[in-house]
Amino acid sequence: MHQCRTCLGQTPDGHFCVRCGAPLARAQALTHARHRREFAAAPDERRYAPWLVSTLFPRLPRHSERHFYGALLGGAGGVAVLAALRLFPVALIVAAGVMPCVTILYFRDIDVYEGEPAWALGWTVGWGALAGIGVGLLAKVLAPTGSALIDRGSTAHVVTGGLLLPALGVLLALVGPLVLLRYRKFDDVLDGACFGAASAAALAGAEAIVVGIDVLGGGLRPPGAAAPWVERLLGLSLAYPVLAMAAVGAAQAAVWLRSRGRAVDRRALGPAGEPAIALALALLLVVAGAVGETFMASGTWLASLVTLDLIALVVLRRALHVGLMQEADERELGPEAECVNCGAMTVTHTFCGDCGVSLRALSKAALRSGRTRLIESVCALATVVAIGVVVGTLGTGSEPKASCTSGSLCGNPPVFSRVAFAFPGDTVWASTGLGYSLRYPNAGWKVANSDPDDVTLESIDGSVLVVNALRSSKSTPAELIKVKLSRLRGQLLGFTRDTNAADQLLGTDVGLVPGPGVVYVGTISTPQGPQETVNVVVLAATAGGISIAVTLITADSLGGQSPLANQADDIIDAIDFPAR
């Protein structure tokens, strides 16, 4: 027994003061034990080292962390393999389920004997899931349509998807757990942070599934390039949820510290402990993560998310550390007991004298064996995969059959090829720059924007037909198509050639002038997740001194039965090149 130089209390011989947690071997006394280098919830890690599991799941003893790393890596690996096999709908469900699933395992693990917070878990995860469904439905209502489909810089993508919806998500994830602030048994900063993180994880998962519901209907193995999908779904399964969890957890920790902490400790976090500032920081981190999706390639975005993850984890870790290193109680030393973290016998007070863990960070639960936990993780992940397979399979519509025998887009042959006048119910649009014209049916189509050379038409169901023209001396049809495809590649996820037999073109022309044509497929991706797979047809032809490229983007099928494809085909066939 000797005197600790930091808190001046009596503590048994060991590595750490059991009252304040200060390391006893240090030559100089700390001004406050919270300045020690060891993280209070995991003393063998540095205070500000952004380790994932000890920060997001701080109540775990160190030796069981590897099971959680295993579960997270297993989940992410599974997502990557499923996406690489192009089983996108299954991979999407698994990606959305990994983090909520591991969070539930964590809650179950730390409370298996006490059993008390089953309802607290139910409330936070249930609230998060419901809020996620709500935000997801809102995202679908506000989803980009028309020409915004292929413009990731549009307001619908950047302001709505990158800013408003993520901010709403953060606020909702924070509000739900506030109910638990009333209960004395949840008065630790750790509790607040965990509830906030759990609610954020459930919210992100539920939101991604609701937003991606149309991807689930596109067949078990829809077309698409695998590599961008792998990157996008790794972001969806781990990188984005971790960011949301850490940011919301840190903001929630500040709220808890402010309302449940002891008066002396309320200022220990500095400005970051001010709930308004903590909330602003959480919003900034999450919005910065989300908005990046609207202008970065999937791989770059994943890297930017990981960077933000590290920052958010450090912020959360700091809050947890300060919360756990609150002033020592003025109570007597208790009897010796085994430390759940390191297994050594320690006098019970506030910290373990041997490893220095805050005893408040440990669940009082007796630990289950690693084998039990491993079996549980495997079962939980298998369940998520099974749900993904079932939903992915059920969602598979029957593949459309190729039903056309002639015509460019499987449409009906046009009645007139060269149209100089409007049919009743049709509107003529004429290029003042290059002298070509086209007509489109008023019912169902409108001009979204136009300039002297180009025009963008939008259909009532959100499909887009873009007509671009150039003097034929400037570009051949093949070059026009190439330029068009390279622009679209940056706008759609997994953009690749469509090999679906039903979508193939049987002879391609523009205004009945033959020319090259291609069918591609890609997925509209928003910060909330992959949203909908669209078909892209690009046709081009040269006549009368100009080259025209027509791009049709539609979520509808291109088969002969599709009224949209027929209408688009009529518009394309009726394009009137200038007379020489």
Residue 148 in the binding site for Zn ion (CB under 5 A): no
How many Cβ atoms sit within 10 Å of the Cβ of residue 255?
21
Q: Which of 139, 339, 521, 538 binds Zn ion (CB under 5 A)?
A: 339
We find the least distance from the C-beta atom of residue 49 to Zn ion, in angstroms, to be 19
How far is residue 351's CA from residue 186's CA, in Å, rounded to a whole number?
Answer: 19
Strand blocks (E) in 31-150: 38-39, 42-46
Residue 341 in the binding site for Zn ion (CB under 5 A): yes
x/- mask, Zn ion, residues 298-337, rule CB under 5 A, reads ----------------------------------------
Q: Which stretch binds Zn ion (CB under 5 A): 5-13, 428-436, 446-454, 484-492?
A: 5-13
We find the least distance from the C-beta atom of residue 109 to Zn ion, in angstroms, to be 18
Which residues from 271-300 bind Zn ion, rule CB under 5 A?
A: none
| Choice between 342 and 540, CB closer to Zn ion | 342
We find the least distance from the C-beta atom of residue 351 to Zn ion, in angstroms, to be 8
- Positive or negative torsion for Cα 401, 407, 413, 417: positive
List, in sequence order, the alpha helices (H) in 238-369. 240-260, 275-292, 298-324
Nearest to 260 by CA among 322, 316, 188: 188
Q: Which of 99, 105, 138, 342 binds Zn ion (CB under 5 A)?
A: 342
We find the least distance from the C-beta atom of residue 40 to Zn ion, in angstroms, to be 12
| Choice between 129 and 361, CB closer to Zn ion | 361
We find the least distance from the C-beta atom of residue 462 to Zn ion, in angstroms, to be 60
Cβ-based neighbours of 385, under 8 Å, separated by 6 or more:
78, 82, 90, 94
Whether the CB-CB separation of 224 and 496 falls below 8 Å is answered with yes
| Choice between 7 and 202, CB closer to Zn ion | 7
Which residues from 496-555 bind Zn ion, rule CB under 5 A?
A: none
Report the SS3 class of residue 519.
strand
- Residue 168 tokens read as 């709403």
How far is residue 264's CA from residue 440's CA, in Å, rounded to a whole number?
Answer: 72
Whether the CB-CB separation of 189 and 323 falls below 8 Å is answered with yes
How far is residue 390's CA from residue 243's CA, in Å, rounded to a whole number?
Answer: 29
For residue 508, how far is the Cα from the chain centroid?
39
How far is residue 76's CA from residue 91's CA, in Å, rounded to a whole number?
Answer: 10
Q: Which of 236, 355, 380, 502 binds Zn ion (CB under 5 A)?
A: 355
Residue 7 in the binding site for Zn ion (CB under 5 A): yes
Q: Strand pairing of 426-430 and 437-441?
A: antiparallel
Number of residues this chain uses to bind Zn ion (CB under 5 A): 13
How many Cβ atoms sit within 10 Å of the Cβ of residue 504?
14
Q: Which of 148, 352, 539, 546 binds Zn ion (CB under 5 A)?
A: 352
Q: Which of 188, 191, 231, 354 binds Zn ion (CB under 5 A)?
A: 354
We find the least distance from the C-beta atom of residue 62 to Zn ion, in angstroms, to be 9
Q: Which stretch binds Zn ion (CB under 5 A): 2-10, 198-206, 220-228, 569-577?
A: 2-10
We find the least distance from the C-beta atom of residue 378 to Zn ion, in angstroms, to be 29
| Choice between 247 and 342, CB closer to Zn ion | 342
Q: Which stretch binds Zn ion (CB under 5 A): 88-96, 181-189, 349-357, 433-441?
A: 349-357
| Choice between 141 and 264, CB closer to Zn ion | 264
We find the least distance from the C-beta atom of residue 344 to Zn ion, in angstroms, to be 5
| Choice between 365 and 483, CB closer to Zn ion | 365
Would you give the DSSP letter of residue 351?
Answer: B
Tokens 């389920």 map to which residue? 97
How far is residue 329's CA from residue 311's CA, in Å, rounded to a whole number?
Answer: 32
How many Cβ atoms sit within 10 Å of the Cβ of residue 150?
22
Residue count of the chain, please give it: 580
We find the least distance from the C-beta atom of residue 180 to Zn ion, in angstroms, to be 28
| Choice between 7 and 238, CB closer to Zn ion | 7
| Choice between 111 and 354, CB closer to Zn ion | 354
We find the least distance from the C-beta atom of residue 50 to Zn ion, in angstroms, to be 23
- Positive or negative torsion for Cα 377, 380, 384, 390: positive
| Choice between 76 and 352, CB closer to Zn ion | 352
Helix axes 298-324, 226-234, angle to 10 degrees: 10
Report the SS3 class of residue 366.
coil
We find the least distance from the C-beta atom of residue 12 to Zn ion, in angstroms, to be 11
We find the least distance from the C-beta atom of residue 18 to Zn ion, in angstroms, to be 8
Whether the CB-CB separation of 234 and 302 falls below 8 Å is answered with yes
| Choice between 341 and 526, CB closer to Zn ion | 341
Helix (H) or strand (E) run with residue 549 in it: strand 546-554
- Measured between alpha carbons, how far is residue 455 from residues 210, 440, 489 in Å? 34, 12, 21
| Choice between 87 and 110, CB closer to Zn ion | 110
391-420 exposure pattern, b = at least 16 Cβ within 10 A, e = fewer: bbeebbeeebebebeebbbbbeebeeeebe
Q: Which stretch binds Zn ion (CB under 5 A): 110-118, 275-283, 341-349, 549-557?
A: 341-349
Q: Which stretch binds Zn ion (CB under 5 A): 191-199, 345-353, 423-431, 486-494?
A: 345-353
Q: Which stretch binds Zn ion (CB under 5 A): 277-285, 352-360, 412-420, 444-452?
A: 352-360
Which residues from 12-41 bind Zn ion, rule CB under 5 A?
A: 17, 19-20, 22
We find the least distance from the C-beta atom of residue 321 to Zn ion, in angstroms, to be 16
How far is residue 480's CA from residue 470's CA, in Å, rounded to a whole number?
Answer: 9
For residue 139, how far is the Cα from the chain centroid?
13
| Choice between 19 and 232, CB closer to Zn ion | 19
Torsion angle (degrees, nearest 10) of CA 102, 107, 113, 116: -150
| Choice between 22 and 40, CB closer to Zn ion | 22
| Choice between 3 and 561, CB closer to Zn ion | 3
| Choice between 345 and 386, CB closer to Zn ion | 345
We find the least distance from the C-beta atom of residue 30 to Zn ion, in angstroms, to be 9
How far is residue 552's CA from residue 554's CA, in Å, rounded to a whole number?
Answer: 6
Contact positions toward Zn ion, by CB under 5 A?
Answer: 4, 6-7, 17, 19-20, 22, 339, 341-342, 352, 354-355
